[in-house]
Amino acid sequence: MNKNEIEQHIIALEKNALQKWIEGDASGYLDLYAEDASYFDPFWDKRLEGHKEMENFYENFVGVFLSSYEMKRPMVCVTDQMAVLSYELVVNSGNISHNWNCSEVYMLQEDGGWKIVHSHWSFYRPM
Amino acid sequence: MNKNEIEQHIIALEKNALQKWIEGDASGYLDLYAEDASYFDPFWDKRLEGHKEMENFYENFVGVFLSSYEMKRPMVCVTDQMAVLSYELVVNSGNISHNWNCSEVYMLQEDGGWKIVHSHWSFYRPM
């Protein structure tokens, strides 16, 4: 894949995981996280580290269904083995919207697939 | 440099910029950002894009002096051309402490140096 194809591939991987997530299914993201993935989230006082901690984290969201999402202004910076995707995310749940800033660092795996090695989600909140 | 050397080099670059930043000097970070760097911050409703926007952003902090910082649990995931550093940051200003989650994506430049292409800072706030 050339850089443009990698970029489109990574956006498609992320959208697939997001779509499953708003339907209450964490498997899309759990399949994407590398074994040693790390994760920052505003709900936790420490960085989550490793797939097992991610699994425990997502158990908190079992049965959470959201209405829709919008991935705004996705931008990917690509190298041969690593790429960073960032975007602004609007998640709608009934009449309530949440605005997130999302950064996902993908790394090429030995089997040729791309997995997330570091993830940073935060709320956008004007001060 | 081998991977361990790159890891230590990147942590040193970041600490150098942090040290200048708490002394009210943004030049450490401005020197580290690549021309097309992008940046998420809780204070802004959009991702900042490009060095000029970063310069404007840092102008808000001219004259802000902080007492000290602590970089906690730095972790670097390294490939040949890109690396991601994440850490928990405690910044002390007098009697007040702020807790940040920080992710910095560094990319190898043509001149052999490493620069930040994507940055994501967020407050840790328990919900």
Contact A42 B122 (CB under 8 A): yes
Contact B40 A103 (CB under 8 A): yes
Chain B residues 41-100 within an 8 A CB cutoff of chain A:
42-47, 49, 73, 75, 77, 79-84, 86, 88, 99
Q: Which of A54-63, A115-124, B18-27 has the lowest mean pLDDT?
A: A54-63
Which of A3, A44, A46, A82 to probe by mutation at the B interface, max B CB count within 10 Å? A82
The model's confidence at residue A52, banded by pLDDT at 50, 70 and 90, is very high
Is residue A66 predicted with pLDDT exceeding 90? no
E-strand spans in chain B? 33-40, 48-49, 68-78, 82-93, 96-108, 114-123
Q: In what order do the strands lie in the sheet containing B114-123?
A: B48-49, B33-40, B114-123, B96-108, B82-93, B68-78
Beta carbons within 8 Å of A30's beta carbon, 6+ residues apart: A51, A54, A55, A58
Task: Categorise residue B94: left if φ over 0, alpha if ψ from -120 to 50, beta otherwise.
Answer: left
Is residue A2 predicted with pLDDT exceeding 80? yes
- The pair of structure tokens assigned to A3 is 């850089």
The pLDDT tens digits of the residues spanning B96-116 come to 888 999 999 999 999 999 999
Quick count: other Cβ atoms within 10 Å of Cβ B80?
12
For range A30-52, the mean pLDDT: 92
